[in-house]
Every structure is written in C-alpha cells, then in structure tokens.
Chain A
Amino acid sequence: MSKTSVHTTSLHTNGNGTGTTETKRLEVLKTYKIYIGGQFPRTESGRYYIPVNNEGKKLANVCLSSRKDFRNAVVAARAAFGGWSGRAAFNRSQILYRMAEMLEGRRMQFIDELMQQDASRAAAEKEVDLAVDRLIYYAGWCDKYQQLFSSVNPVASSHFNFSVPEPTGVVSIIAPQQDSLLGLISVISPVIAGGNTCVVLASESKPLCAVTFAEVLNSSDLPGGVVNILTGKPSELASWFVDHMDVNATIYCEKDTDIQRMMREKSALNLKRVFFYDQTDWTAAESQSPYFIFDTQEIKTTWHPVENIAGAGGGY
C-alpha cells in the first residue's frame, strides 16, 4: 500500500523497451479499467491512483474505485446470481475450465505484468502456472463438492430428508495484497465454483493482473456480473464491502486487526458471513480445498413424506 503515489507525470512504458528514439515505434499503452457487469467502465468518481513498483516505476493510472462503484458492482452481482447459481454445475465447470484456457493463452502477458510488479521471472512463471492449475482444480470441483457436503439423513419418521449446499449469494472479497494473481484467483474460484457471484477488490499495490484477468473473464463465457473487479484502496472501501445490506458474505485476506474487527461488527447489520483468510500461503498445496467452497455455502435441508402403504420402512 505504501508503494502507491498519485502523479500527473507521464508513465513509464513496460519492460519491452522504452521509446527513446524517434524512429522507434511508439508503444500503445493499456488503459486499466474496472470490470462491472461484464463491462469495462472507468470509476464513476473519475479518480485514479498510480501504483509504483520497487524500482520506482509507475505502473499505470489505475481506477480509484468509490463506494458507488461498489454499489454498482453489487447490483450487477445480484442480477447475475440467479442465472449463475441456477446453471448446471457441469456448465459452471466448463466455464471455469475455459477461464483456465484463456489464462494459459495469455501466460506471457501475466508473467510480464507480474515482473513489472516486482516478481522475478521464475516467481512470475510459477505464479501464473499455479493460477492456471488452481482454476482447473476448482473447475473440477464445480460438480463434485455437492456430493461431498450433502447428506441423506435417516430421520426416524416416514420422511425422505436430505441436506444440500446452496450458494449463499453475493460475496464481497478483498483479495490478498501479495500473490496478486494467484491470491485473487484462489479466493474467487471457490466462491464462483459454488454458484455465488462476487465483487472483488484487487491488490492495491499490484492491481495490473486483476484487470487483465478481467479481460480473461470477459472472453471465457463467464456471464457478466458473476465476477466484478474493482481497483482501489482497502482502507477506503473495506467498510462499504461489509455494510452493504445486499451482500451475503465477505472475505478478507489481510491481517489488519482493525479492519477485521470493523468487519465483524458491521457484519451484524444483516448477519453477513465473514471469513478471514489471513493465514493462507496461496502457493502451498493446502491453500486449495473444497472446504473453501463450503465457506460460502448454506446447507438446506428438505423434508418430504414417504408413503408407506405396504408397511415398509419410510426412511433411507
């Protein structure tokens, strides 16, 4: 967070060379926008900030999202929830797999962005590879976790009774500040694999991959609004992420105890489910599991009578 500053001077271009000679072709710079409802608007506030890497290089003019951007994103996420949660699990799986394909196809671009954001080439390659694999991992879970977390309950009366997980709804996420690609994908994937929709705030200091990842999402058959990506400051947005009454759960991935306390207090407004993934090493094997999916699931139990004319047992 400390690596950001707001400047009005021109931006450095990326590591492929700097345009010093007039004969050399002028590079086309990328505009980093936010991603809401499948569209790439600029922040409604018109504000921006310029994250700077360790070498002092300014990365981009990045949208400094506002409370209203968040509100718009929640509206988009809520609108997308019915369709996404109602899709066949198999279809969600296909789409997550497609996301992995698209990510793999842009492998070099992400490595490049990670390197701009202070990663070594080896580390950047590893992170992109892990990120692709993580998507594949959760793509596979889309139509399996239900069987893991469901139960048929042997009630003593003549009823058929079963419990199944259902997505909790709209999830607001403040993504990990480090592991800006892998961490982001690690927290989004279980949420959407489980049929939720989400609004996620990218790493403040390393936002580039999140915006580029939005482009991956946009070309992966993922319906607009399922994942909405904002850039900006957790210190400014965290409280809005947790006090919106139409958000069902909040995930926070940092250790700031003040924010954590504030989040649990405000979550009482509508009894949001709050999770702190503040101890997770996203590169470790344990950082992926169906139990992450389970966090943003509700268990629904259904009862129905079992007719018993011939006098056989009612339950299962």
Chain B
Amino acid sequence: MAVTKKKAAPKKSNTVKLKFDTSWNYAPAPESKSAATIHKQYDLFINGEWQKPSGKKYFDTINPATEEKLSEVAMANEADTNKAVTAARNAYEKVWKKMPAKERGKYIFRIARMIQEKARELAVIETLDGGKPIRESRDFDVPTAANHFFYYAGWADKLEYAFPNRQASPLGVAGQIIPWNFPLLMAAWKIAPALATGNTVVLKPAETTPLTALKLAEIIQEADLPPGVVNILTGAGETGASIVNHPGIDKIAFTGSTEVGKLIQRAIAGTNKKATLELGGKAANIIFEDAPIDQAVEGVINGIFFNQGHVCCAGSRLYVQESIAKQVIRKLKDRIETLIVGDPIDKNTDIGAINSKQQLDTIHKYLNIGKKEGAEMYESSCPLPRKGYFCRPTIFTNVAQSSRIAQEEIFGPVLAVLTFRTDDEVIEKANNSPYGLSAGVWTDKGSKIFNMTKRMRAGVVWANTFNKFDPSSPFGGYKESGFGREGGLHGLMPYINLTHQS
C-alpha cells in the first residue's frame, strides 16, 4: 500500500463539496458509568438529613437519551417547604450568620474540593439525567461549578473590601429555583455566593434534572456543613411556588423562563423579598466582513449548538454582513455536518439529547413556524437515534427580522440567519428585542468592536468569542432578560444589604 494516485484536475468551484461522510470513523466511546452511584430513590435534603416527603409522593426522573427511568425523587409540598425554610432560618440565626466569616469560607472551599474529587461521577450523572454530552459536563459544567465555589469561598471574609464605605450584611434565607439546562452549575451559581455572604439556602432543582443537586446535597453532608444551611427540595412548579410564596424567605433567586420570572415578580409584590432573575434571551451574534471568518463560524456553532441550544445566552440570531453571507452560510453548513448527534454518554458526541419531550415538541413547533414563515431550513444530514429525544442541528436562512424564529426564544439547536449592510442597521436590529442577555460581535477592527459592544443593550457581550463563562465574570441581563448579576464581585450584591458605615 503506497501512494494512491488520484487525479487532481480542478473542478468547477461552484460544484465542489467537501465530503464529511468519511471511510474512517470514530468507534463508539461511551464513558463508563461505573464511577456514578445513583440511588433508586431520593428523599428531601432538609436540615442536614434526608427526610421523607410529607405527601409521601415521588416522581420519576428519566434519561432523555433512552427514555429509561434513572431514579425517583421526592415531591416536596408546602409542609416540606415550611420545614426547609424553618431549618434554614434556624441555621441562619443560630449558626451561619454568627460564624466567623473565614470559617464560612472554609466550608465553601471544602465543597469546591469535594466537587473536584467527585467530578467524574457528577459528570456522568449530569449527562444521564439531563442529556447533555459527557464532553460538556466533564469539561465545562462540573469544573466550572467547582470553580464557582472556589471563587466565592474566598470572598466570605473579604466583603468589607467589596463595597467602599458600606457595611455588607446577609439578607437571611434565600429561596433559589434553578433550571434544567445546567443543573449542577446553576446550583453552584446560586449556592456559592449566598453562602459566602452569610445567607442560608432552600434550593429547588428542576423537575427533569434533580440528580446532581441531590449529589451535591450528599457532598454538602459529607463536608459537614451545619444542618439547615443548605436545604434541597425536589419537586415541580408548585414546589417552586411554595418557596416563592413562603413568608420566611427573604430573597428569591430564579433562573428560568421570562414567563415564570414575571410570575415570580408579581408574586412577591407587597413583600420585602428581594429578587434576582436570570431569564430568557435571543442573542444577536454579528459577523462583519472583516471578521476572522473561520473563528467566527466556530463561535456561531458553539454559540447556538452548545448544550443542544438549551442556553439562555445562546447566539440564536446570526447577523451576517451581506458581502460575506454566502461564504459564511456555506461554512456553517459544512460545520454542522461534522457535529455528532447521539448518545450523550459517548465521549465523541457534540449534541446530546433534548432535555424533555415537552422541549422537543416546542422546538418542532418552531421548526414548523420557520418553514411556514418562508425561511429556508437546512438540517445536518446526521442520523438520529431511534429512542430518546433528539434534534438535528438546524439553520434557517433568508429569515426576516419580523419572523417569529428571529424574535422568540426557541431554546434548541436552531439558528436563524439574517443579513445586514451597515453598522447602524445591525445595531438597531440587534437591539430590536425585548431581551438583552448577551450578544456577540466579530470584526478585526478594534474601534468597531468598542462601538458595537458599547451600543449593544445586553449584559454580556462577547467580541471575537462567544459563550465564555468564568466565576469572576458577572453574568446577567438587561430588559426582559432579568436583573441582578451572578459571578464576580457584582454577584455578591444580590445577597447583601448595604448599610452606611458608622
């Protein structure tokens, strides 16, 4: 077997096409599940111990990639919420707020370390329960969650340096409700700053993805955190509502849909509860003709297909300058051909399972809307597994600004591509949204970057990159994407009262 001589006569460039269906392929590479222990049943984590739900009800949590049951978890009702809030209140008054800040910090450090020690297990469980690719839970969710605890642990005894001329004091008991797209990471985003600032916590993970939060409860128990400082209640929307409405809660931190965020804002009217809301988005990702195109294309791909597009800051609206639109669209189409859709536990999978049947239905609804609106739909040619909830990476071109697929949050692997001509035009279109969570801009020209990043009304702006996160970097939205920041020094603010220093 020596050199295989092939004819290399140039073909007409408008007919050439790269072939990604190659003869050399990747064998299945499933991550071993042996590192992970999932119990058959989980109770509620209240006051440092596992307590049976008052209503004696449990519900199933399934693997969305196989539709098989993984475990069953307790359904918390109002009585359970009451118990958890009471435990959190006691822990706050009697232990946590009195504890020297540096000791508080050490507990949080300890949790961070234990997450690292159990990283593989957490990653496997996250992937089984939520459907995200193991590559992401292993390389992103779990390490970033640990890092978040590390970051805020260090703040615990340094708060007097954070806010000049002000004394920071904790709020009390924080009720925290988190979504299904980054179950462990969102728990970390919520719990770490709350604990560092001296608050205690009642946290409710999402109905479809409770397992890593329960694993975190085990870690918290193992870390010997005083009972009641963190309580974890599993359940559905009603459990969340019972937390929001509980009079013993001082603060609500919610990440989820704008619709529910608004309900919460209404529900806490007339109370002294503070709130931070991290809600929906419809981020504009803008590519100018002078951009580093291949990196921009990769940024667009990561921007919309990361975590199946179940990302509030996903770059779901792509604005391409008309002069390079054809080129960019061709590159995008090539790139999605190389995305591997399939078993999330396989280490080579790029796009895992859609989190739930319900979400898959929502995505399909929008695919139909997009087609009806006359946009051109292009899907990857990849095969889909027969069982489980899967969706091909999809690109809509010829999309109008007024299309619903360009305005509404789909929360799936669906990209709407629009074109523009001038800077002013694209700024206007990018800001033409009730959302304002994130945005992206790609150009090689420094002064243009600053013009664009300044004028885009969004809480996080990525220039020549996209979907980057770091514990030290504040995250949160403008407008209907919510208020308050998580991460960084600014992420302390939602959990403290500031009083004038005497």
Complex contact flag A–B (Cβ < 8 Å): yes
Closest B residue, CB atoms, query A149: B490
Is A44's CB within 8 Å of the partner chain B?
A: no
Contact indicator A298/B474 (Cβ below 8 Å): no
Given contacts A153-B488, A155-B473, A271-B262, contact A261 B269 (CB under 8 A): yes
Contact indicator A163/B265 (Cβ below 8 Å): no
Looking at the assembled complex, report how far the CB atom of A218 sits from the nearest CB atom of chain B, in whole angstroms: 29
Is B169's CB within 8 Å of the partner chain A?
A: no
Is B195's CB within 8 Å of the partner chain A?
A: no
1/0 per residue, CB under 8 A from B, across A291-305: the answer is 100000011111111
Most buried by B among A157, A286, A304, A305: A304
Contact indicator B473/A153 (Cβ below 8 Å): yes
Is B66's CB within 8 Å of the partner chain A?
A: no
Which residues of B from 448 to 502 have beta carbons under 8 Å from A?
A: 449, 453-454, 458-465, 468, 470, 472-476, 478-483, 485, 488-490, 498, 500
Is B12's CB within 8 Å of the partner chain A?
A: no
Given contacts A268-B265, A300-B458, A303-B461, contact A159 B453 (CB under 8 A): no
Mind listing 26 A-B residue pairs with CB under 8 Å? A148-B164, A151-B490, A153-B473, A153-B488, A155-B470, A156-B147, A260-B269, A261-B269, A264-B268, A267-B265, A268-B263, A268-B266, A270-B479, A271-B261, A271-B277, A291-B166, A298-B459, A300-B458, A300-B459, A300-B478, A301-B459, A302-B453, A303-B462, A303-B463, A305-B464, A305-B465
Q: With the chains together, A159 CA to B270 CA distance in Å?
A: 43
Is B86's CB within 8 Å of the partner chain A?
A: no
Q: With the chains together, A291 CA to B162 CA distance in Å?
A: 13
Given contacts A301-B474, A302-B453, A302-B461, contact A257 B270 (CB under 8 A): yes
Residues of B within 8 A of A260 (CB): 269-270
Contact indicator A264/B265 (Cβ below 8 Å): yes
Given contacts A163-B473, A264-B269, 9 further A-B contacts (CB under 8 A): A155-B472, A157-B468, A163-B490, A265-B265, A271-B265, A286-B500, A289-B500, A301-B459, A304-B465
Given contacts A159-B468, A299-B474, A299-B485, contact A268 B460 (CB under 8 A): no
Which of A151, A263, A291 sits near B488, CB closer than 8 Å? Answer: A151
4 nearest A-B residue pairs (beta carbon): A264-B269, A261-B270, A155-B470, A268-B265
Residues of A within 8 A of B164 (CB): 148
Most buried by B among A159, A163, A269, A291: A163
Q: With the chains together, A268 CA to B475 CA distance in Å?
A: 21
1/0 per residue, CB under 8 A from B, across A86-121: the answer is 000000000000000000000000000000000000
Q: What is the interface of chain A mostly: helix, strand, loop, or mixed?
A: mixed
Residues of A within 8 A of B465 (CB): 159, 303-305
User: Total contacts A to B, CB within 8 angstroms?
Assistant: 113
Residues of A within 8 A of B462 (CB): 302-303
Task: Give the size category of A's interface with B.
Answer: 35 or more
Given contacts A291-B498, A303-B465, A305-B464, contact A161 B473 (CB under 8 A): yes
Which residues of A from 108 to 164 have beta carbons under 8 Å from B?
A: 148, 151, 153-157, 159, 161, 163
A positions within 8 Å CB-CB of B = 148, 151, 153-157, 159, 161, 163, 166, 168, 248, 257, 260-265, 267-271, 273, 286, 289, 291, 298-305
Residues of A within 8 A of B478 (CB): 168, 298, 300
Residues of B within 8 A of A153 (CB): 470, 472-474, 488
B positions within 8 Å CB-CB of A = 147, 164-166, 258, 261-263, 265-266, 268-270, 277, 279, 434, 449, 453-454, 458-465, 468, 470, 472-476, 478-483, 485, 488-490, 498, 500
Closest A residue, CB atoms, query B460: A301
Q: With the chains together, A286 CA to B262 CA distance in Å?
A: 33
Contact indicator B483/A273 (Cβ below 8 Å): yes
Closest A residue, CB atoms, query B470: A155
Residues of A within 8 A of B434 (CB): 270
Contact indicator B266/A157 (Cβ below 8 Å): no
Looking at the assembled complex, report how far the CB atom of A142 sits from the nearest CB atom of chain B, in whole angstroms: 17
Residues of A within 8 A of B473 (CB): 153, 155, 161, 163, 301, 303
Q: With the chains together, A257 CA to B147 CA distance in Å?
A: 42
Looking at the assembled complex, report how far the CB atom of B478 sits from the nearest CB atom of chain A, in whole angstroms: 5
Q: With the chains together, A299 CA to B477 CA distance in Å?
A: 8
Residues of A within 8 A of B165 (CB): 289
Residues of A within 8 A of B261 (CB): 268, 271
Closest B residue, CB atoms, query A257: B270
Closest B residue, CB atoms, query A273: B483
Residues of A within 8 A of B262 (CB): 268-269, 271
Which of B266, B277, B460, B472 sits near A154, CB closer than 8 Å? Answer: B472
Given contacts A270-B479, A271-B279, contact A299 B270 (CB under 8 A): no
Q: With the chains together, A267 CA to B263 CA distance in Å?
A: 11
Most buried by B among A153, A271, A289, A305: A271
Q: With the chains together, A186 CA to B461 CA distance in Å?
A: 33
Q: With the chains together, A11 CA to B131 CA distance in Å?
A: 75
Contact indicator A264/B461 (Cβ below 8 Å): no
Contact indicator B470/A157 (Cβ below 8 Å): yes
Most buried by A among B262, B463, B490: B490
Q: With the chains together, A155 CA to B460 CA distance in Å?
A: 14
Looking at the assembled complex, report how far the CB atom of B414 sits from the nearest CB atom of chain A, in whole angstroms: 24
Residues of B within 8 A of A155 (CB): 468, 470, 472-473
Residues of B within 8 A of A301 (CB): 459-461, 473-475, 488
Looking at the assembled complex, report how far the CB atom of B286 sits from the nearest CB atom of chain A, in whole angstroms: 14
Residues of A within 8 A of B482 (CB): 271
Residues of B within 8 A of A168 (CB): 478
Closest B residue, CB atoms, query A263: B269
Looking at the assembled complex, report how far the CB atom of B280 sits from the nearest CB atom of chain A, in whole angstroms: 10
Residues of A within 8 A of B481 (CB): 271
Most buried by A among B449, B454, B473, B488: B473
Contact indicator A265/B479 (Cβ below 8 Å): no
Q: With the chains together, A289 CA to B460 CA distance in Å?
A: 27
Residues of A within 8 A of B147 (CB): 156
Closest A residue, CB atoms, query B481: A271
Residues of B within 8 A of A261 (CB): 269-270
